[in-house]
Structure 1
């Protein structure tokens, strides 16, 4: 029997020491994966989200050495990714400088626009992707635009050995709020301002007939300052380091086919400031990844077709899989995102993305399910007795107020980051309860979210101060 190290050596191209920040290896602002993989010769990383409600990338057989932190190289095939490498020029103007991230349906690159002399985020979709995201962004921009919604700067197609690929150009970002969670907690004023701006962005979407469909911290990005464009490519390299590039090799030793890049690039990380040192001028976000966005009045999106990570899906997506989702699904996800911003610890956490575990946690935290749901929930006997009490021996999740004390207040005290006062805590928990109703028909609307006591008395004032602080940055 082979030693494990020998098996791994055939599957993984090891990464040498790098000049990049350690955070580069954790995630990226444009990455739809968390870096948790099952490593076997024929097992792909965790399946990514699909931009359509009816399909997802097909399983594959491993053919190439795995590069830690890069996309699935087997996706470079007919109908899949377009091979892009550092130094390429797309559309006769976009010079590829580095990689910002990847998802199941695209790779995203930092490029220098030679016409406008600025840095941009260039998303290159799979040839078999539907390209719904650009249509949504274009419609939202026509409606007047929102500072926290990416502006579509350009769109085009690029033809290659794997097909014709939709490309979209937007402004780049420094990192996602999820990235920031690795360096702990935001100051209280920054957390409030970020929460309000995110709520404003979702409100803008809803007011123009769209639901985002995938709100969670990896899709909430920190804007890059305009000063980034003042850097030449050489100055950019001096500040952020060279790209992490690794050779792509077939496991059978044969030459690479024309549709596979010669090198794999690990996404970069452009945020250097520790979040505890953030000021209100840093509280500038972009709500990204509109591949799951939909217009509830014009198209039906069943709960079964929700592709958000399990821990962020509303319970009705599991328990009423054939009922269409609506704006209320965004309300649930927004509440969890705001909770994460304040405490950087999620309210729910299922093992291996288990829906049954998530539903049991919702019951633990909020009490009995709506009438009729309990009887239809087949997995209840795994977690609860016939009388509805939790089964002995399993972990029981804390009620909402206890969870806030344990996962938010306690760690803020321990890290000397300042806890939230009693009056603010009561107002915040009241908002969470109203947004996190298991029954989607009972959840409040975005107008009611913005008019809530916590938003009006604590979040909005900090957001207004952040607007003043960011002038000229």
Structure 2
């Protein structure tokens, strides 16, 4: 368990969460190191192995005296996540090792949720501890192990039977409702942060893991001049699991909501969020502060994606303009009162030649609607099923944040209960 040293909480700490650990000692002047490329697709930038950066890990390492690293689950800006085996209990876990300069928000949120929720739909924090490395002191989070993300399933075209998808969407909704009832907004609910669990994975042996998921792919890490990587970096980089060989029959419809690095409470709302644009509440571009409503918008996007294996609001360039254009073609016109509050003042939303701007024109016909897209991607639905699903999504995908159906009500919806 983590021991918290300070009695005073900093001004920006979550008012309902435990006190943060003491600040890390100052790091030496950053190194400037240039590495050769590895050719691997799902690896961290080797340049992040520097003071304040990642903790160098090798396959087979035992971290925290009992967690043997056997594969990589993923990598992000502030952490690497490893599939590890608790050698004392003989069970697999997800070992998330944060960069030395990572903020403590996620650990604080998970500690709070550990005592305020009982659901198995949210990543459960088993233990936290610190490790000292050449790049600083790193916080380690031991979590229940998940499986492929929704993004992985879409990428590898692993579409699942309709009853499975209904269960998965219901479980996701229940997880979000539990999170909101505990007073926490996730803030970064995307298809990469929704994991499908694999039946029995926590009890698999190393041989079973490599047989069912594939062995790790590694590449020697070298400096630009061809010499081996220094001690502050690993000797090899490890590609993250892609689950392309996973038999979908091994998947459970239970899901885990993970990655709470953007989470906040209603009493400590951040000025903005780092959510990818395709899942970001459009109101944020019009001056609204983050709220539970951003999770609800993302939930609608994810429910659509679970059912159709397509993103609801894909953006090629990740711009706010793309998001809003896609959203208005799918949902309809924006509220008129938003016209003067768009964040990008270089773009004029004023009427031209007497015509309303397309974003605000409720009279024009939209060809890319929820109705038409459900028809295209789910032709197997009956007429009643189609109508119920479209109605559910329209109840969530509302531009005005206050009018979105709360998660506690979404899970009671006829689509999930079978009651019309």
Same fold at TM > 0.5: yes
1:318-350 deviations in whole A, cap 9, x for unaligned?
121xx3211111100001000000001112122
Q: Give the conservation status (yes or no) of the 8 Å contact 1:174–1:269.
A: no
- Structure 1 residues 397 and 352 mapped into 2: Cα distance closer, same or farther (>3 Å)? farther
Q: How does 1:326-405 map to 2 (within 5 A)?
A: 326-377=291-342, 378=345, 381=348, 385=352, 387-388=355-356, 390=358, 398-405=368-375
Q: How does 1:1-150 map to 2 (within 5 A)?
A: 63-67=34-38, 68-69=40-41, 70-150=43-123
Q: Give the conservation status (yes or no) of the 8 Å contact 1:75–1:81.
A: yes
- Structure 1 residues 241 and 342 mapped into 2: Cα distance closer, same or farther (>3 Å)? closer
- Structure 1 residues 402 and 85 mapped into 2: Cα distance closer, same or farther (>3 Å)? same
1:165-213 deviations in whole A, cap 9, x for unaligned?
0100112122112111122422111110000000000000000100111
Residue of 311, 315, 318 corresponding to 2:282: 315
Moved more, 370-379 or 432-441: 370-379
Distance apart, 1:448 and its partner CA: 2.1
Distance apart, 1:242 and its partner CA: 2.8
Aligned length: 378
Q: Distance in 2 between matches of 1:121 and 1:254?
A: 32
- Report the 3-state secondary structure (helix = DSSP H, G, I; strand = E; otherwise coil) of the residue aligned with 1:427: helix
Q: Give the conservation status (yes or no) of the 8 Å contact 1:106–1:125.
A: yes
Q: Distance in 1 between matches of 2:47 and 2:383?
A: 53
Higher helix fraction (1 or 2): 1
Match of 1:171 in 2: 144
Q: Give the conservation status (yes or no) of the 8 Å contact 1:370–1:439.
A: yes
TM value normalised by structure 2:
0.83
The alignment status of 1:161 with 2:128, answered yes or no, reads: no
Distance apart, 1:405 and its partner CA: 1.8
Structure 2: which 5+ residue stretches go unaligned?
A: 1-30, 360-365
Q: Give the conservation status (yes or no) of the 8 Å contact 1:374–1:380.
A: no
TM value normalised by structure 1:
0.75
Q: Distance in 2 between matches of 1:156 and 1:166?
A: 6
Distance apart, 1:450 and its partner CA: 1.9
Distance apart, 1:389 and its partner CA: 5.5
Q: Per chain length, whose mean CA-contact separation is higher, i.e. which structure has more relative contact order (CA < 8 Å, sep 6+)?
A: 1
Match of 1:194 in 2: 168
- Structure 1 residues 232 and 251 mapped into 2: Cα distance closer, same or farther (>3 Å)? same
Q: Distance in 1 between matches of 2:94 and 2:217?
A: 18
Residue of 138, 144, 157 corresponding to 1:183: 157
- Structure 1 residues 194 and 240 mapped into 2: Cα distance closer, same or farther (>3 Å)? closer
Structure 1: which 5+ residue stretches go unaligned?
A: 1-59, 414-418, 460-473
Match of 1:210 in 2: 184
Q: Distance in 1 between matches of 2:325 and 2:131?
A: 47
- Structure 1 residues 245 and 398 mapped into 2: Cα distance closer, same or farther (>3 Å)? same
- Structure 1 residues 384 and 254 mapped into 2: Cα distance closer, same or farther (>3 Å)? farther
Match of 2:264 in 1: 294
Q: Distance in 1 between matches of 2:297 and 2:37?
A: 36
Q: Give the conservation status (yes or no) of the 8 Å contact 1:312–1:336.
A: yes
- Structure 1 residues 356 and 143 mapped into 2: Cα distance closer, same or farther (>3 Å)? same
